[in-house]
Structure 1
Amino acid sequence: MDFIIRAVDDVLAKDFDASISDEGVHILDPFTGTGTFIVRLLQSGRIKPEDLLRKYTQELHANELLLMAYYIAAINIEATVHGLLEEQAAAEGKDAGEVPYLPFDGIVLTDTFQMTEDGDTLDDFVFTSNNDRVKAQNALDIRVIIGNPPYSVGQSSGNDNNANLKYPTLDESIRRTYADLSTATNKNSLYDSYIRAIRWGSNRILNSPDGGVLCYVSNGGYIDGNTADGLRKTLVSEFHDIYVYNLRGNQRTAGEQSRREGGKIFDSGSRNTVAILLLVKRPGSVDSCSLRYRDIGDYLDRKQKLAIVDAANIAEIGWEMVPPSPDGDWINHRNADFEKFIPLGEKGAGQSIFASFSRGLESGRDAWVYNSSRERLGDSVQRMIRNYNSEVERYAESGSPTPVESFITPDPQSISWTRSLRNALRKKDKLEYLESAHRVSVYRPFCKQSVYFAPLMNHERSQQPKFFPHADTENIGFYIVGNGNDKPFSILAVDRIPDVSFWGSGQGQFFPRFTFSEANKASLFDELSDAGGSRRADNITDSALSEYRAAYAPDVSKDDIFYYVYSILHSPEYRARFAADLKKMLPRIPQVPGLEKFRAFAGAGKSLAELHIGYESLEPYALNEVSTGQAVVQDEYAKYAVTKMKYAGKAGAWDKTRIIYNQQVTLEGIPEEAHRYMLGSRSAIDWILERYQVKTDKATGIVNDPNDWSREHEQPRYIIDLIGRIVALSLETNRIVDSLPELGLA
């Protein structure tokens, strides 16, 4: 906060020949919380003693929506000013006890976004006691906006009944700017509160012919987020100067990347990247923008970051001048060569290698429809279906009241609601339990789960029914980290339905080898039906086949192309060279020079795919199974059951060569090299420890016990052998990837 106050005052002096203390410089904290920003401003010494009373009574403004915080903020600000005035009186030899207590009339109990909506009447009815303050603030020429905007992405559960409020005027402003200029398909995150705050504050400053300064400390997702490319393009067209100080701290990562991100600025608060954004609009039009960027650095804890910021001066920071980018890149600039390659997949009629691709399964209620136990899964699904059908009957008997969100039973132990299920309730559609909907999925890397795969019980199935129409459909494909995800680019071949958050969070895209359609809708050129009666079509496009045959040899097959792509996407050279592109776009695939190099990549890709899909049949790496507990006569299932495995050692100094498997067994001899094989932000072995533990879902109370998988599949050593298999797989993957040839691109 102190840095922001200093930075704003210094920018006012540099660009406006003014200061925070000057008359006519109105300052607003639109999301004041308990008033900390205004309090720190008053204590900063940036307001001259002779200007304090005028600034406090006329030119400081704060908004707060929550009643308790509003009162606390008013008290904090009033008490601070009263103390300062008492100190002034004492310094002048006056009686401090004679200083009157002055209420802070600059604070408004209001929804900042709502108060500037066209035709707004909310304040006339809800905030009647300070409606005059709302009107007065709206009429002011605000020169400085500072604060810490709220961050939200809507409700976290369909049971919450607290979806984001709509602000038609503000949201239309976002649509015409940030959204229109964004290349993203899903633009919902542009209406998060902190993005709305940037748009709202920008509008407030831009409406003044004299310009002004906006400075927020907030979620820093806009710096490099895929959806925020339109925001970045807009800001450089609206402001003369932009300063971005990236304080890092993204704890939605894991492993080495998490350690590089360092401590969270807000300590126990947000796990997202935090950044300071300072926008400067001088009088006149914006012909060009000077964009300055600074990354605070790697491996810094919270205390170190705060010390660096506390000592910083905006004029002395080593800013990186960022050149304009037509793509809206501020950091991680794309490689121009990338656009020349054939897209892996393309929505619409463009040329691509794969005809179809899709997100994974988004259930909207994972605890209900995924489980290690098929039997437990069936019980949970049937219970929720019964509860939902009872709600349909109650809804019909009640006369179909609206809104349905206020009618439904919000108890998450009864039903997990999603938009699709609420819509079904409106139509009084009932659900039927289907044994045929039981499938096997790949929920996370090397973690199979029983899944109930059916409409409405799954919120969004995307094109997965087209890729795996029946339980016995044989198909393979690979799942990649989706563009805009916070995970490093990764890929893994699977032969079952993948979950949308296969990489732990965010989303990804699945590229199947084949697609399937109903037999009566099939083309004459489709292959014979699968066991379920669907017709199979090759998902590698004919245009890609022609392109590759022309480049290499007439006998190149679509299988060759599939495995070539899988290998290229494992290439460390490819991932490093096009890292920025892979964060922002779906992969594009270069053609390496020469048939020999193509064959080498295709052969390696086939070996990798067979290794990754067939992991359960690998010979386990020989680990030392050390008995650590008292020998107890027990059956094999109890002996090899897990509760929660962990590495030896302690946090910050884990010994990843040893795994404390359970109270009786410790595994030793895991090669450190095995941990080099990374999938997203975890090693393959990390994934096993993270997923294979007994978990009770907090909301539903449903238990997911990985030992149930061992029992139902009659493999008491399934989990302990799986660790050995994944160690072997990791080492072999490293060997194959290390032996890949150079791309040989110009």
Structure 2
Amino acid sequence: MCRDQFGYGITDEGVHVQDPFTGTGTFIVRLLQSGIIKPADLARKYTGELWANEYMLLAYYIAAVNIETTYQALVAEQQPDRPVDYVPFPGVTLTDTFQITEKGDRSDTSLIPVNNQRIEAQLAAPIKVIVGNPPYSAGQTSANDNNANLPYPTLDGRIAATYAAQSTATNKNNLYDSYIRAFRWATDRLGDQGVIAFVTNNGWLDGNTADGIRKTFQTEFSDIWVYNLRGNQRTAGERSRQEGGKVFGSGSRAGVAVLVAAKNPHQTGCHIHYHQVPDYQSREDKLDDITDATLTTTAWTTITPNTDGDWLNQRNPAFQTFTPIGLKDTREPTPRIFTMHSNGLKTNRDPWCYNFSHKAVEANMSRMVDEYNLEATTCTGDESKLTTDPTRISWSANLKSDALRSRTHQFHPDRIYESLYRPFCHQNAYFDRPLNERVYRLESIFPTPTHDNTGFYVVGVGSAVPFSAVAIDCLPDLHVTGAGSGGQFFPRWTYERADSSAQDALPAPGDAIDEWGYRRVDNITDQALKTYRDAFGSQVSKDDIFSYVYAVLHSPQYRAAFAADLKRMLPRIPLAASRDDFERFVAAGRTLADLHIGYETVEPYPLTEQHSDTVTGPEAYRVQKMRWKDKTTKKTLIYNAHITLDDIPAVANEYMLGSRSALEWLIDRYQVKTDKASGIINDPNQWATEHDDPRYIIDLVKRVTRVSVDTVRVVDALPELPL
């Protein structure tokens, strides 16, 4: 790239190379060993034009030794008849790369004068090539870790002014991931000319939040080459298998890509070259294919981005012409179908707030609230005094903030709701604002456990899993389909409190105030009703619109045509081709909603139960962990050591919710699990016990098989949309 763009190579004088996150020095070692640096240039390069930073002390020492012994060996090869002196590597520094370029806020290195001198020399060097494998870290996963990412005001300000400013995403927190900070830092460090070569997480290639990164790259680089090794194992099912082997083995579940990008001030525009490894390729094959010969003969694809910053899986322009099902701002006058929608419940302490056992939720949360109140009244605003023992409490940002302000909370047993935690998996949930990290708008959808409502949950924008929707009549979790991005719930109704002091407190005709002081409000907009009545006749009701939308969201034609759009934004709904087709969609939507909401009461599918005689009675139906007898045919399910379920129809496995079939969700969720951090046990058998139904789980498998078969039948009969 250097020779192609600028006419010089890495071996040439004045071409300074830096590895800002060197770890144990692998990149610099491999550069020295590669032969890219000519023997005559080796001493000059080693003593003044190679730079490596490391933040961790042990890794720093190992990097220095690795680089120095590699150089000594190379010199010894050049002069085998003469002794070789050991020459310390002057380019390695113990420092935080991001910190040393912060304006007016550099790390204090005065205690190590030599290290400080090296940092100053590095900062003065005209870096032309930056290589490495930046760390991946979007932030701590638990406040108990007490290990939040450090702030870098100067660097983060640059991200805000570029990547974040260009992004259309609402939540831009992930733009401050360490590897994205590395993009921003390296691009700025190069100045007007140079090359970046990073091995990174590949989420920026197609992520919704990363549209601002891609747009900025197009303006800051002249040539971009991306070799996508894939391997994203945060997916599941067939999608996971297509991603192939994990590039770093057990070290990371993230997908990986190699980025080589050039800044050439003499070239206009940006040329983007892309290649991705084939589906199902093993880790070994991926790495074997990365050779000089392969890279020069690869059939690179030229990418022409669209105006939305899409590089891969570009969205369909027709999608924007349809009516959105919802908008974030409820005051926005743009037509939409639902007045409001909400994320599902985000507890940040699921093992405590969720459980198959109502008694367990009550005991766990009561115990945690007691512990919290003790911490809040004794910490005196000092965070260091708060316990980090995960068996006693699960901290989150909001709860920790309350404790430091000495705010106490109460446990309310009447705030335990029935919820849908994952597809066809009801659990008990503690739903109470002070003890949940985010409740979003759910309090106006399910104000009390006794308020009825229905709606449907759709996979969140930016999710790694395929789009899906599922109808629900209880409190939804944030990640019903296990998606990385929290899904959205579209309720049929909302509830508002009837405040007698408010000027608009008088109910509209037919809007009764219930015994808890709430009024039910229709969540389908009048705008939508007018649109559908204009198109399909005055007999159309808001219930019809709800059913129509739910059916369209299941249309294979719709999902295929707008797969890229559904990853990036909330669904938009096209009108049916005719009144007859509209009515067919409505009927299908009602059937699907009835199946998915009433899955616990449908007629069980007649699977063949095979029992041993060793255990009888209720104990015979306990599960520990179900599994397929053969993962290829998925015809027989080993329910437990005593029972197998046979003759599962192949079509049942075609009903997918995200990356798993409905039956695979049951296998995943209906197993006894112990949370490693808290030690809390979540036992699905407790649900059966507390509902006095020992056969609940085995019959659930049969019922969900029925739901799956019937769903596929209904979906296959949907009419075509005029797309």
TM-score range, shorter chain: over 0.9
3-state SS of 2:257 partner: strand
Matched, 1:275 2:257: yes
- Residue in 2 that maps onto 1:625: 609
Q: Name the structure 2 match of 1:255.
A: 237
Q: Which residue of 2 aligns with 1:141?
A: 126
Shift of 1:122: 1.3
State the shift of 1:323 in Å: 1.0
* 2:600 aligned with 1:610: no
- Equivalent residues of 1:472, 1:532 under 8 A apart: no
CA deviations on 1:339-358 (whole Å, 9 max, x unpaired) are 00111101221221111011
Output the amino acid matched with 2:39.
Answer: P
Q: Residue 308 in 1 paired to residue 298 in 2?
A: no
Sort the Cα spacing of 1:312 and 1:232 in 2 relative to 1 into closer, same or farther, 3 A.
farther
Q: Is 1:114 paired with 2:99? A: yes
Q: TM-score, normalised by structure 1?
A: 0.94
Identical pairs, percent: 52
Correspondence list, 1:378-397, <5 A? 378-395=362-379
| Secondary structure of the corresponding residue to residue 416 of structure 1 | coil
| Contact 1:648–1:654 (CA under 8 A) maintained in structure 2 | no
Whether 1:668 aligns to 2:661 is no
Instruction: Report the Cα offset of residue 452 of structure 1.
Output: 1.1
Q: Structure 1 CA distance, aligned partners of 2:449 and 2:117? A: 65
Cα RMSD (Å): 1.3
User: Corresponding residue for 2:75?
Assistant: 85
TM superposition score normalised by structure 2: 0.97
* 1:180-579 → structure 2 map (5 Å cutoff): 180-205=165-190, 207-208=191-192, 211-284=193-266, 287-348=268-329, 349=332, 350-395=334-379, 400-402=380-382, 404=383, 406-506=384-484, 507-520=486-499, 524-525=507-508, 527-530=511-514, 532-579=516-563
Write the letter of the residue equivalent to 1:239.
F
Question: 1:116 corresponds to which letter in structure 2?
Answer: T
User: How many angstroms apart in 1 are the aligned matches of 2:700 and 2:512?
Assistant: 35
Equivalent residues, number: 714
Structure 1 residue 531: deviation in Å?
5.3
| Structure 2 residue identity aligned to 1:36 | T
- CA displacement at 1:314 relative to structure 2: 4.1
Shift of 1:524: 3.5
Select 1:701's aligned residue among 660, 679, 688: 679
Secondary structure of the 2:417 match is strand
Distance 1:71 1:566, change over 3 A: same
The structural deviation recorded for 1:608 is: 0.4
Equivalent AA in structure 1 for residue 95 of structure 2:
T
Question: 1:712 corresponds to which residue?
Answer: 690
CA contact (8 A) 2:459 2:483 kept: no
Q: Please tell me the residue identity of whatever aligns with 2:660.
A: R
CA distance in 1, matches of 2:349, 2:548: 36
Q: 1:589 to 1:146 in 2, by over 3 A?
A: same
Q: State the AA in 1 paired with 2:201.
A: N
Could you give the per-residue CA deviations for residues 237-260 of structure 1, whole angstroms, max 9, x where no partner exists? 111111111110000111111110
Q: How many angstroms apart in 2 are the aligned matches of 1:529 and 1:359?
A: 26
In the aligned structure 2, how far is the partner of 1:524 from the partner of 1:656? 54
SS of structure 1 residue aligned to 2:390? coil
Matches within 5 A, 1:12-51: 12-51=2-41
1:62 to 52, 57, 60: 52
User: 1:109: Cα distance to partner?
Assistant: 0.5
CA distance in 1, matches of 2:519, 2:65: 71
2:551 and 2:586 in contact (8 A); partners too = yes
How far the C-alpha of 1:283 sits from its partner, in A, is 2.9
CA deviation string 1:440-464 (max 9, x = no partner):
0000000000111112211111111
| AA in 2 matched with 1:624 | T
**Unmatched 5+ residue regions in structure 1?**
1-10
Cα distance change, pair 530–125 in 1 and its aligned pair in 2 (3 A): farther
Task: Tell me, in whole angstroms, the C-alpha distance in 2 between the residues paired with 1:61 and 1:499.
Answer: 48
Structure 2 gap segments, 5+ residues each:
none
**Matched residue of 1:122: which SS?**
coil
Query: How far 1:627 sits from its partner (Å)?
Result: 1.8
Q: CA deviation at 1:551?
A: 1.4
CA contact (8 A) 1:623 1:670 kept: yes
Q: Equivalent residue for 1:641?
A: 622
Q: What CA distance in whole angstroms lies between the structure 1 residues aligned with 2:270 and 2:49?
A: 29
Q: CA deviation at 1:125?
A: 4.8
Residue in structure 1 matching 2:576, options 582, 586, 592: 592
In 1, Cα distance between the equivalents of 2:270 and 2:57? 40
Residue range with higher mean Cα deviation, 528-537 or 353-362: 528-537
Report if aligned partners of 2:391, 2:677 keep a CA contact under 8 Å in 1. Answer: yes
Q: Over residues 690-744 of structure 1, what are the superposed CA-to-partner deviations in whole Å (9 max), with x where a residue is unaligned? A: 0000111100001110000001000110000000000010000000000000112
State the secondary structure of the residue aligned to 2:272: strand
Letter in 1 for 2:208: N
Equivalent residue letter for 1:704? N
SS at match of 1:449: strand
